[in-house]
Amino acid sequence: MSFGNMNQKGFTNIILVVVVVTLLGVVGYFAFVKKSEPIVQQPTPTPSQTNTPVSSTPTPTPKDETSNWQSHSNTEIGFSFKYPQTWKVEDGMKINTCCLNVFNSTNPYQGDFLKQNVMKAQFQYEVDASVSNKQQYIDGLIKSSSESEMETPISRSSVISVQNKNGLDIVKFTGGVGSVGYVIPRKQNFFEVLYVIVWNPDSTFEKVLSTLKFTNAADPTVGRVCGGGVMAKGGACPTGYTCKFPADHSLGADDGICVKN
C-alpha cells in the first residue's frame, strides 16, 4: 500500500472521530440543559364549594292556640283553666245540676244536654279525708262504676299531667255519650280531686285540661258571721280563728265575723 493511500485512510478516521465526538457533545449538552430546567408542577384543582344560602327570615315561633282563650277561675275551690272563645262556662246550680258545666256553645240551655250535644264537660270537686292516696280513690270509682248497668269495663291509662300530677282516663260510658272521666289529685295527705267528665273528648279539650292550674282557695271560714247575739246568726269560730266585732255592731247586736289568727 502506498504512503498516499495510508494518509487518506488516516485522515478519514480522524474525521469520523471528530464527527462522533461532536455528536456526543451536542447530545450531552441538550441532556444537561433539559435536566437543569425547573419542573413546573401543575396546581391541584380546588374542589368547588357550594355556598348554602342563609335565610335572613327567622323561623316563626309556633303560636300557642290557648293564648287568646278565655279564663275561668274558681276562687272558692282554688283552680282555673282556659277555654275557647266560642265556648261558655256556666254555674251548674243555674241549670239544676251539681257541677260546673262547660258548653261548646255560647247559648247553653236547660234540657237533655247529652242528646242535644251542647254540654262539653262537667267539673266536680271532691274532698275525702278518709282516702289516703290516689290509687285508693280510683279503685273506689272503678268498683262503683263497674256495678252500674250503664257503664263498660274501665280503662286505666295515663293521659294528661296537671302541675306534675297525672290524671287518669278512668271511665268510659256506653249509650252513645262517649264520656271519659279524668281524676286529677290535688294533695296527698288530705285527698282532694277534680273529677272531670268529658262528652265526646277531642284534642281541643285535651288542651283545655292542659291549662288547668290549682290556685290558692279562698278560706270559707274567714268572714263567717259569729257571736250568736240577739239575731243568733252565728256561733263560735273554729280553732285558729277569732270572732271580731265591728265597732258599730252593724251586723246586729253582739254579731261579729270570723278572722284568722
106-138 pLDDT per residue, tens: 666 555 555 556 677 878 777 666 777 777 777
Strand 70-74 and strand 79-83: the pairing is antiparallel
Domain-by-domain residue ranges, the chain?
Answer: 67-214, 219-261
Strand, coil or helix: 214: strand
CB 162 within 8 Å of CB 144: no
Element (H, E) at 249: none
pLDDT digits (tens, 9 = 90+) for 80-93: 899 999 888 876 64
- Indicate if the pLDDT at residue 72 is higher than 50: yes
Sheet holding 119-127, edge to edge: 88-90, 100-103, 119-127, 192-199, 179-185, 165-172, 157-162
**CATH code for the structural domain at 67-214:** 3.40.1000.10
Q: Report how far residue 101's alpha carbon sits from residue 89's, in angstroms, rounded to the nearest whole number.
A: 6
pLDDT digits (tens, 9 = 90+) for 202-248: 788 888 888 888 887 767 677 777 776 544 455 778 888 888 876 65
Q: Report how far residue 55's alpha carbon sits from residue 90's, in angstroms, rounded to the nearest whole number.
A: 49
pTM, rounded to two decimals: 0.54
- Indicate if the pLDDT at residue 62 is higher than 60: yes
Q: Report how far residue 92's alpha carbon sits from residue 47's, in angstroms, rounded to the nearest whole number.
A: 75
